[in-house]
Structure 1
Amino acid sequence: MKITINAIQGEDANAIERLMREVSEADVLPHFSQLGKDTYLNEILPEVTQVMCNANFVGAKALLNGELIGFALLRDGNYLTHLFVAKSAQGKGVGRQLLDTVLTSTSAAQVSLCSSLNAASFYTALGFQATGQEAQKNGIRFIPMKLDRT
């Protein structure tokens, strides 16, 4: 499988939203209350495509035969806001490649994130540690995590 990693561009917005919706419906939304599902679909999902080319964000996309199969967004050099990989490409190192790519853009000693419940083991395998118990905000369940890079 020949994966290409490139910077996210504005024209990637529709493909990113589709990928996020597909993966979320299968893996993320089942863990949320109805309030969480509504918040995610009406606020979080549309916000991603609005901020992905903002100067505060570094974004990387993974392509297979020209098709988007994953993306990652790092905000302010120290907060991973999103990392999504298509179901068909999970478990093949795409997530690690995307994470490594956005992390090369920062010298931050620590990177934090709020992991969806289904992704916590992925982040743990990459060296992240939980910084607290499972939490919830507006019905969205997550686990706060950090990666010490010193």
Structure 2
Amino acid sequence: MHMAVRALLAADLEQASRVCMAAFMGAVAESLPPLGIETFARIASVEGFRARMVHDNVMLAYAQEDRLIGIAELKEGRHVAMLFVDPAAQQQGVGKALMAAMIEQARVEVLTVSASLSSVPAYERYGFTCTGEAAESSGLRYQPMEMRVAPGA
């Protein structure tokens, strides 16, 4: 079976949105107020992705044959904006492969992420540490975290 990390294409956006929503609804949504779910749905919508594609964002897909099972987004080479894996494909190294690809694209010494509270242990396994208190923005609760990466890696 062919699996690979590649650039996210415009043609992938519906699948990408579905993967994000499935992972989010399964792991994060129950801990949030309705506003947070609404905010995330907007961020993860096809239109949301399309709007960010024109900015300085690296968007990656993890594809299994022609099916998307993971999605990652690195903003300005310094901030992990998204990392979602299809719930059926979790614990299989997909997130790790996407994280490694984002680290390769990093343009700073310290990568940051605003991790959903349920994803903190996963980010800790990737090497991130918590920085400061958990916070809330537009109904989304998150934990600021960072990881030192080798400069120019």
TM-score, L = length of structure 1: 0.91
Structure 1: segments with no counterpart, 5+ residues: none
Q: Distance in 2 between matches of 1:44 and 1:53?
A: 12
Report what 1:28 is aligned to: 28
Q: Distance in 2 between matches of 1:48 and 1:103?
A: 23
Report what 2:110 is aligned to: 110
CA gap 1:86/1:80 in 2 versus in 1, 3 angstroms: same
Give SS of 2:120's match: helix
Q: How far is the alpha carbon of 1:15 from its aligned partner?
A: 0.6
CA gap 1:38/1:53 in 2 versus in 1, 3 angstroms: closer
Q: How does 1:137-148 map to 2 (within 5 A)?
A: 137-148=137-148
Q: Distance in 1 between matches of 2:94 and 2:135?
A: 27
Contact 1:52/1:73 (8 A) holds in 2? no
Give SS of 1:104's match: helix
Q: How does 1:5-24 map to 2 (within 5 A)?
A: 5-24=5-24
CA gap 1:13/1:132 in 2 versus in 1, 3 angstroms: same
Give SS of 1:22's match: helix
Q: Distance in 2 between matches of 1:60 and 1:39?
A: 22
Overall identity of the aligned pairs, in %: 26
Report what 1:80 is aligned to: 80
Q: How does 1:56-95 map to 2 (within 5 A)?
A: 56-95=56-95
Report what 2:50 is aligned to: 50
Q: How far is the alpha carbon of 1:54 from its aligned partner?
A: 2.2
Contact 2:130/2:143 (8 A) holds in 1? yes
Q: Distance in 2 between matches of 1:21 and 1:15?
A: 10
TM-score, L = length of structure 2: 0.90
Report what 1:122 is aligned to: 122
Moved over 6 A (4+): none
Q: How far is the alpha carbon of 1:112 from its aligned partner?
A: 0.3
Q: Distance in 2 between matches of 1:26 and 1:118?
A: 10
Contact 2:43/2:49 (8 A) holds in 1? no
Q: 1:82-128: CA deviations, max 9, x gaps?
A: 00001111111110100111221223101101001111101001110
Letter matched to residue 103 of structure 1: I
CA RMSD of aligned residues (A): 1.6
Structure 2: segments with no counterpart, 5+ residues: none
Letter matched to residue 71 of structure 1: I
Contact 1:4/1:62 (8 A) holds in 2? yes
Q: Distance in 2 between matches of 1:139 and 1:21?
A: 16
